[in-house]
Structure formats: structure tokens, C-alpha cells
Amino acid sequence: MRALAVLIALLSASGVMAQDTSLRALTTANDSKGWEAVGRLDIAGRAFCTGAMIAPDLVLTAAHCLYDRASGALIDAGEIEFLAGWRNGRAAAYRGVRRAIAHPDYEFEGNDKVDRVAYDLALLELDHPIRLPSIHPFETDTRPRKGEDVGVVSYAFDRAEAPSLQEACRVLARQSGVLVLSCSVDFGSSGAPVFTIRDGVPRIVSVVSAKAEMHSEPVSLGAVIADPLDDLRALLAVPMVPLDAAPRVRRYGEGAPAGGAKFLRP
């Protein structure tokens, strides 16, 4: 991924800046029409990210949203709630999360922060599908070309109560599964869907992973979803093993006082 870092430096030197396009808050039902499948992910009551439905029971987001920033441990799926179309204190639908799967090649504590972006993707399986006439899961598409216009719908720390739409930002560069975008993002925008519009239909082509700077101007980094999403779908197809069906392993000291208990790190 070193080449991408050099590419960013070259773009900076050549004076290519992030596009200054405005965000439009989706605060009314009319504003939000067509975007209700984007929602806020409330995580363990301590943080939030953005996610988007790609099926009635599947939400696409960023893998790093599933990790506790302090400990680096995976957050239990039961502590995540998806608030579809959240705005002004209400959601169109509320769902818990049954399973949360981060891409197997994503490394939360990896040294190369740019390299991690390519696999910063996760799928959440909701505890119950959302089947409402007003909520339509999004289709996905292949990666956009350099220079192509895209859009993003996201929540952020200063717009936590309603999402905002940026209809026109641009792909500044792409390499090795990473897109450099002029889209405006901030904390809480992680996992936000990046769209292309084809034949009037928005299709997700990327997920916001991080914000960065290029020649002191803000840019955002996103993962290309095409191949990694196939990997995630394959993992999700593997059935869960019920807890009561899992083999019980007796450890040395089991049944002894609590001081002798042994715990496995997650």
C-alpha cells in the first residue's frame, strides 16, 4: 500500500484538492425519502457509526466499528442496535444484531492504517428482517472510476440526530481496494455508504473507513466493496453453532473457588 501513500503525496503536490461541496441535512420525511435504509448503529451505548441495508436482514458498515477502541476487543453483537432512518429522536425501524462479521483480512491493530482500509468492511445480520414499504435495501455495484462523481449519506458527531446527504463528491484516486474521496466525513461517519447513481438508482460502491488530509485539505478513504463483500457473504452463510450444542470443555480447576478461574481472551 506504499504506492497509495506516494499517490496521495503526489496529488497533494500537484494541487488536487478535496471538493468543497455542501451537506444537506435529511431532517424531514420528504428529505429522507429513498434513504431510509441508511441508519445509525448505536454501539454498546458508547459510540455510533453509520450503516446501510443491502438486504432486509443485512447491514453493511465498517469493520473497525465492531472493535472497542480502548481494548482492541471485538464488541458483542448483542450490544449493537441498528436504527433505520434515524432522525429527530425516532427511527423507522429498530433492530438488534444477531451476528456481526468483520472481514477476516482486517486488522484493527495493524501498523499500516492505510493498508487496513481495503478490508475495513463488516456485515451485520439483524435479529429480525426489516420489511417495510418505505425501506428499500440498496443494491451494490463495482468500483467507480477515478474522477467519477459519487455521493454519501452519513451521520457524524455534529449531526447525530439526522443523516446528511452529500450528492456530489469525487473519486480522487483508487488503488489496491482503496478509494480516495473528496466526500465530507467526520467521527460517526464510519461505515457510511458511498453511492454511484446509475439510471436514477443509487448503488453502494464503497464504505467510509477514515478521514485524512491531503495538502492540508480534508479527504476521506473508503473500501471498494465488490470482492470483500463476497467474502463476507460466504462467511455469513456458515451456520452458527447454538451455545447449548457446543461441546463443553472442562478446564483444570473447574468447580474450584473463583480465584482459580481461567478466562480466554476474545
Per-residue pLDDT of 56-87, as tens digits, reads 999 999 999 999 988 889 999 999 999 999 99
Which residue is associated with the grid cell 465488490? 226
- pLDDT for residue 15: 35
| Rounded Cα gap, residues 231 and 209, in angstroms | 18
CATH number at residue 108: 2.40.10.10
Please report whether residue 252 resides in a domain.
Answer: no
Please report whether residue 260 resides in a domain.
Answer: no
Please report whether residue 244 resides in a domain.
Answer: no
| Average pLDDT, integer, range 41-50 | 93
Percent of the chain with pLDDT over 90: 61
Given a cut of 50, whether residue 20 has pLDDT beyond it is no
Q: 216 or 47: whose pLDDT is higher?
A: 47
Cα→Cα distances 113→64, 178, 208, Å: 11, 12, 14
| Rounded Cα gap, residues 8 and 78, in angstroms | 39
| Rounded Cα gap, residues 224 and 31, in angstroms | 27
Please report whether residue 255 resides in a domain.
Answer: no
- pLDDT for residue 201: 92
| Rounded Cα gap, residues 180 and 60, in angstroms | 19
Please report whether residue 243 resides in a domain.
Answer: no
Please report whether residue 165 resides in a domain.
Answer: yes
Q: What is the pLDDT of residues 131-182, one digit of tens each?
A: 999 999 999 998 889 999 999 999 998 889 999 999 989 999 988 889 999 9
| Average pLDDT, integer, range 26-44 | 95
- pLDDT for residue 241: 57
End-to-end Cα spacing for the chain: 29
Please report whether residue 251 resides in a domain.
Answer: no
| Rounded Cα gap, residues 39 and 49, in angstroms | 9
Nearest CA-CA partner of 170 in 210, 222, 226, 120: 222
Please report whether residue 246 resides in a domain.
Answer: no
| Rounded Cα gap, residues 61 and 207, in angstroms | 7
Q: Specify burial of residue 55 (Cβ count, 10 A radius: 0-12, 13-18, 19+).
A: middle
Percent of the chain with pLDDT over 70: 81
Residue 79, domain extent: 2-236
Cα→Cα distances 27→59, 78, 161, 205, Å: 22, 29, 9, 25
Number of compact structural domains in the chain: 1
